Structure formats: C-alpha cells, structure tokens
Chains A and B, each alone.
Chain A
C-alpha cells in the first residue's frame, strides 16, 4: 500500500496536470506581454530591431524560470516555449515558429536531465532554448530579407552601393553575432532572475 502511494506520488510529480497547465498559461501570458512591451520599445531603433530577440530573452527569463520553479514537471519549458513562439506567426514566419517549437523541445530535454530540481540545469535549459530559438526564428528571415531588397532595388531607387550596404544588415556574420548575443543575454537574464526568485519568492515561501 505504501509502495502504491509512493508510485502515485511519483507519477503525480512527473505528469503535468490541469493545475500546472493553468499556471503555465498564466506565466506564458506574462512572458508574451514582456515580449510585446520590451520588443516593441526596442523595435523603435534600428539596433533594437536587429537585436530584438537577444534583448527580449534577457527579460522573459524570469517568467520561464518562475514557471519551471513553481510547476517542476516535465513539459513545462516546452509548453511555455511553444506558446511564446506563436506570436511569431504575426510575421508570417511559419517555418521559424515550427523551428522555435523544436528548439524548446531540445531545451526541455536539457531541463529534464536535472529533473527540474537543479537550478543550474534550468538556467542551462533556458539559455539553450533561447539561443536556438533566436537562430531558428531568424534563419528564414535573413535570406528572405536579402531577396526582398534585391527584388525591390529599382522600386526603392537603391544604387548598387546602397544595396550592398543594406544587404550587410542581413549578412550571416550579423546572424551569428545575434545568436551569440542571445546566448549571453539569456544566460545573464536567467542568472539575474534566479537571484530575484531567491530574494523575493523563495524567502516568501512561494516556490
């Protein structure tokens, strides 16, 4: 009987329940809101437009880590990531969104290694998820952006020199730099979020 109870408890710890999904939904909404506010403000500048995902990844880390710390069950990061990837459809980047969901599936594997208990593993999982998401979402945009400019060269009255300058903004070194920057910002964001969680939520006994 004791063994059966133990097995049930173990199962309830591993299986994501409706209660957990409600919590994930709430934190996903917060994360999307942070994405729209921070991403919208950053998008007002050219640098902010190009580096939008690295900037946003820094701020959304707290919503991801809080949901992972509260729910502590397999699938949390994947569902959070999948919901957060959906607004990407606003830019008609279907391939990018599908790749983002796959990225969070990989992050989920990383988080599951630590059983959602080790904080370092959660930080690593968030960093992996955000970095892969940055690469996955922008990968289809870079060739499409170059194609867009090349096709509209005459329409936009661009000289060869100007076109080359504009294409430089969609170059692969910029892509690689943005992915590397996302790795750095998401890691820093996750570490800062851990400190905030410890300072405000752990002490209050909320997680």
Chain B
C-alpha cells in the first residue's frame, strides 16, 4: 500500500483501484467456479438443475453449451495449426495488423463446423430419446441428506461472520 501511495493521483493509481475492485468481485466467484468444475460432473449438474425445476429449454441448452467448450477449444487449435501450416497466419503481429482477415479465417470456419456439430449432436440426442419423455430417469437422484443441514448451517455462520467482520472494519474506520 506504501507503493500505491507513491503513485499519487495518476492513471496508474486509477487502474490499480479498478483492478482491486474487479479482483474483489471476481476472485471469490473464480474460486467457487474452480471448485465447482473439479467436483461436479455435467450429468450431476443436469440432475441438480432439473431438481430445481428450472425450465428444461434453458437447462438443455446450458448443458450443451458447457459440453461444447472443449470441442471448440480442440477445433480452434486444429484450425490454427492448419492456418500456420499454410502460412495464412503469420504470428500475433500479423494477426493484429489484419483483424478482419483473422476473424474471417478463424471465426467463419469455426461457425460452419459448429453448425455441422450441432446437427450431429441433435441427431445423437434424438436417437437416445431426448424428446420422448418429459422427465427422464436420472442416474443421480438428489435428496437432502443428514449432512446437508450441517453444511447449510456452516455456510450461514460463515456469511454472518463475514458480515460482522465487515461491519467491525467500517466502525473502526468511522471511529478513526
């Protein structure tokens, strides 16, 4: 913070303040997201969202979107390799010089491939009877167990503790 004081009223200080604001907002959710992605499977998430009675239209589209990320990553990597082999993509500088061309070379083939993949995915899902029943049987039946109230209580206590500590800090600053 002493270094921050040395920066004075500069643009760098403004950037620092904004960065700290963004970090305060994003870091807890990023940690939660990392924990979530390591411990939760997609079918498990589907079962949980279904148990919450969310609209099936949104749940299905959301699941497809989540499942499709690794596919896009792989397709994009293959495409970039292919462009490099043909010398159509000449480093980051070349790409930044002509962003329109980069967009046309990368985004359009990716979109075309996505259209084809979406048809294949839909055919596969329909073959497995996706549209046949409204509420399919889940392999992950979710019910409240004995540990759940304890975890909920611990989460509530932690939140209350955090609120109290923030109030205490504010009171201390006001007192100063």
A residues whose Cβ falls under 8 Å from a Cβ of B: 16-19, 21-30, 32-34, 46, 49, 62-63, 66, 70, 75, 79, 82-83, 86, 89-93, 145, 148-149, 151, 154-159, 161-162, 165-166, 169, 196, 200-201, 204, 206
Known contacts A28-B65, A32-B65, A162-B9, A157 near B112 by CB under 8 Å: no
Knowing A29-B64, A166-B14 touch, does A18 contact B69 (C-beta < 8 A)? Answer: no
Interface residue tally for chain B (C-beta within 8 Å): 54
B8, B15, B111 pick with most chain A CB within 10 angstroms: B111
**Are A200 and B131 in contact (CB-based, < 8 A)?**
no
Residue numbers of B with Cβ under 8 A of A are 1, 4-5, 8-9, 11, 13-15, 17-18, 20-22, 24-26, 28-30, 33, 57-58, 60-69, 72, 104, 107-108, 110-112, 114-115, 117-119, 121-122, 125-126, 130-131, 170, 173, 176
Q: A166 CA to B57 CA in the complex, in Å?
A: 43
Do the beta carbons of A83 and B122 come within 8 Å of each other?
no
Contact A25 B69 (CB under 8 A): no
Bound-state CA distance A204–B108 (Å) is 12
Q: In the bound complex, what is the Cα–Cα distance between A166 and B22 (angstroms)? A: 15
Taking the closest CB of chain B, its distance from the CB of A107, in whole angstroms, is: 16
* Closest B residue to A93 using CB positions: B25
Out of A22, A148, A151, name the residue touching B118 (CB < 8 Å): A22
